[in-house]
Structure 1
Amino acid sequence: MNKTSKTAFFAYVICCACISLLCSMPVLAQKSDSIYYSSRAKKVNRTPTIKANIQSYKPSYNAGLGYLPYNNSLLNAKGSIKQDKILSVSKVYPNPVDDQVNVTLKLDREGVVSIKIIDLLGNEVITLANERMVSGEQTKSFTIPNKLNSGIYFLRIVCGAETIVKRISVI
């Protein structure tokens, strides 16, 4: 072997030895995360309790209906759930709306119905109706004012405690 190859081989051995030595040494000034967190973890010996007189919620199960709601007064004598819906909206047309919108709704009993147009942020834009309506199926037509910009709006129909929201597009 000549002198250059001996020097290169010697440098290669020294580099390998240094790299293996440096790789096996731990990095200074750093702690392992698992050691840090395990020493500071709190141990909870007891579970928290509520010191109030509150009835806990345990849903009852009926084989035919599945899990029943919390308020069992919704059940009738046959064990099925009563439908106390006063309001049902079957159609809002045409959609997209240009200048007039038609709403077909059904009331099970007489009540005050409020129909409003709401923007995407939930702000009331226009009240179309706030009147007492008789029971039965009815179709109401409302003209859309020109001040309403084109875009997406919601039609909120309220009767008593029931609220139905339908999406409409105004062009």
Structure 2
Amino acid sequence: MNRKLRIALLLNILCIICMSVFCSLSVFAQKSDSTISNVRAKKIYKTPQIKANVPTYKPRSTFGYIPYNDVTSTKTASNIKQDKILTVSKVYPNPVSDQINLILRLDRESNLSVKIMDLLGNEVVTLSNERIPSGEQTKSYTIPNRLNSGIYFLKISSGSETIVKRISVL
């Protein structure tokens, strides 16, 4: 009996040692049910190359000093603001059922064109093509019944400017 007790005790100790060794190793730990291996890929850092016919920069000065260039920009922010003649403040109601209203401002008298375009950019209907005086205007247009419900674009043009607004027709 003494011999059987020793063998059982040694087997228990051996099992405890094996369990502690195997549990401490990550190789024998439980793995996920995927076929992805744990091998890490080496990261390669590449600098993007832009291919263009741009001459290389060659400084005209010496000792790291750049010569002063007294030429400044000729177009200022005030010049850009003056070029804009059309501002659309609000398009309502959206979604539209039978009538659409526009609040817009023209800086000078010009032709105003209001068109409804489909999602592909095809002209569906022209709501207006008229000469409008300068200032803030509120315009109302009736949506034709033949227009199916869906998403359309309202294209508002005056001179060389075009503003596009998205509308939903019920």
> Above 0.5 in TM-score?
yes
Q: Partner amino acid for 1:75?
A: A
RMSD: 4.2
Instruction: In structure 1, list runs of 5 or more residues that go unmatched.
Output: 56-70
Cα deviation for residue 75 of structure 1 reads 3.5
Unaligned runs of 5+ in 2: 29-36, 58-72
Give me the whole-angstrom Cα distance separating, in 2, the residues matched to 1:31 and 1:98.
59
Q: Who is 1:87 aligned against?
A: 86
Alpha-carbon distance in structure 1 between the residues aligned to 2:74 and 2:91: 34
Deviation at 1:6, TM superposition (A): 4.1
Q: Deviations over 1:10-59 (max 9, x none)?
A: 223223343416955978xx8853xx627xx5788xx989651499xxxx
Aligned residues: 144
1:60 corresponds to: none
Q: Which residue of 1 aligns with 2:112?
A: 113
Aligned pairs for 1:45-64 (under 5 A) are 52-53=54-55
Query: Could you tell me how far apart the structure 1 residues matched to 2:121 and 2:159 are?
Result: 20
> Partner of 1:137 in structure 2?
136
The whole-number CA distance in structure 1 between the counterparts of 2:99 and 2:38 is 71
> Offset of 1:72 from its aligned partner?
5.6
TM-score by length of 2: 0.56
What's the % identity of the aligned pairs?
49
Aligned letter for 2:153?
A: F
Change over 3 Å in CA distance of 1:113–1:8 after alignment to 2: farther
Write the letter of the residue equivalent to 1:147.
R
Q: TM-score under structure 1 normalisation?
A: 0.56
**How far apart are residue 146 of structure 1 and its match?**
1.3
CA shift for structure 1 position 137: 3.4
CA-CA distance at 1:86 after TM superposition: 0.3
Change (3 A) 1:86 1:43: closer
The letter of the residue matching 2:42 is Y
Secondary structure (helix, strand or coil) at the match of 1:52 reads coil
Of the structure 1 ranges 3-12 and 99-108, higher mean CA displacement relative to structure 2 is found in 3-12
